Amino acid sequence: MYLFIRHLTYKRELSKINSQLARYNDLDTEKKVDVSLSDAGIEQLGAEINRLIDLYVKAERDRVRSENELKQAVANISHDLRTPLTSIKGYIQMAASVDAGETKQREYLDIAAGRTKRLEQLVDDFFELSRIESADYELSPETFDLKRHFREVLLGFYNSFEERNLEPEITMPEDGVFIHTDPSALTRILENLLSNAIRYSDGEIRTGITESDDSIAVFVANSSVHIDGSTDLNLLFDRFYVADRSRTKKSTGLGLSIAQSLVEKTGGIIRADYERDMLTVRCEWPKS
């Protein structure tokens, strides 16, 4: 008789659990399975079912978030590609106008060529980010002098600094700083950080290398009115994020996102800080 009653109790409890699961599927609710029978086996079953529910809910939220991010990415890509295309079309039409003299035609075509270069850079950035984030992206690490490497990258930005009338304040250790990483990846990181700082700087740029007993870091800082105390600095590394929400700045937000992906791929960390009107992006790697 005891076994029969026990069997009915188990059957009733399992039927209740089954009904709860059916309701979960029908109503798309996040309510957990409730176990009322004091039995170790049934309680363990309920706990495992609830764990699976948690995993399902998380996976579903991730799916929805990914879909929303994809939709936003497509919208941003469309916007960022359409803008230079529209500009190129307009200048070519003006150059083709019968009223345009030779001097004006040359001016319009030069501007269109510049917009074409910008469009090419956008496409390259989209491709580069997808390549970096792919599973088969490989690094080729080697040991080299970071100080010398950084100076060479800075020299490549000489004209950009001149055009913006910027004189960067550079801080470097006296001795060489040797790091073991992929030099091409590091070059792209530095180029993206410097390009971003030059684009958004309000007149001041500071950059350099710091070294401690267990880590090596590079930083790039620029004065900026596009950031305030309420800004979530983590958003700076999101794809397509621009500090100027009117999207009048010529940036897709991909630069810092690419830098973040490369820093993480090379085993480092990247973070942004804002203090005294200076936005500082710092990349740090542990010493080998």
Whether 159 and 46 map to the same domain: the answer is no
Whether pLDDT at 168 is above 70: yes
Highest mean pLDDT among 89-98, 149-158, 218-227, 228-237: 149-158
Whether 92 and 23 map to the same domain: the answer is yes
In this predicted model, what pLDDT tens digit does every residue of 34-63 receive, in sequence order? Answer: 665 566 666 676 677 777 777 877 888 888
Count structural domains, the chain: 2
User: Can you give the pLDDT at residue 100?
Assistant: 66
Whether 30 and 5 map to the same domain: the answer is yes
In this predicted model, what pLDDT tens digit does every residue of 201-244 receive, in sequence order? Answer: 888 999 999 999 999 999 999 998 767 667 778 878 877 665 55
Look up the pTM and report it: 0.66
Whether 224 and 102 map to the same domain: the answer is no
> With bands split at pLDDT 50, 70 and 90, how would you rate the model's confidence at 123?
confident
User: Can you give the pLDDT at residue 87?
Assistant: 83
In this predicted model, what pLDDT tens digit does every residue of 180-189 receive, in sequence order? Answer: 999 999 999 9
User: Can you give the pLDDT at residue 2?
Assistant: 46
Whether 131 and 259 map to the same domain: the answer is no
Whether 62 and 87 map to the same domain: the answer is yes
Whether 214 and 288 have beta carbons less than 8 Å apart is answered as: no
User: Can you give the pLDDT at residue 192?
Assistant: 92
The mean pLDDT value of the chain amounts to: 80
- What's the chain look like in SS3? CHHHHHHHHHHHHHHHHHHHHHHHHHHCCCCCCCCCCCCHHHHHHHHHHHHHHHHHHHHHHHHHHHHHHHHHHHHHHHHHHHHHHHHHHHHHHHHHCCCCCHHHHHHHHHHHHHHHHHHHHHHHHHHHHHHHCCCCCCCCCEEEEHHHHHHHHHHCCHHHHHHCCCCCEEECCCCCCEEEECHHHHHHHHHHHHHHHHHHCCCCEEEEEEECCCEEEEEEEEECCCCCCCCCHHHHHCCCCCCCCCCCCCCCCHHHHHHHHHHHHCCCEEEEEEECCEEEEEEEEECC
Whether pLDDT at 70 is above 80: no
For residue 184, what are the domain limits? 144-286
Token pair 């001016």 is at which residue? 107
Whether pLDDT at 80 is above 60: yes
Whether pLDDT at 17 is above 50: yes
Pick from 137, 153, 184: which residue ends a domain? 137
Any idea what the CATH number is for the domain that residue 35 is in?
1.10.287.130
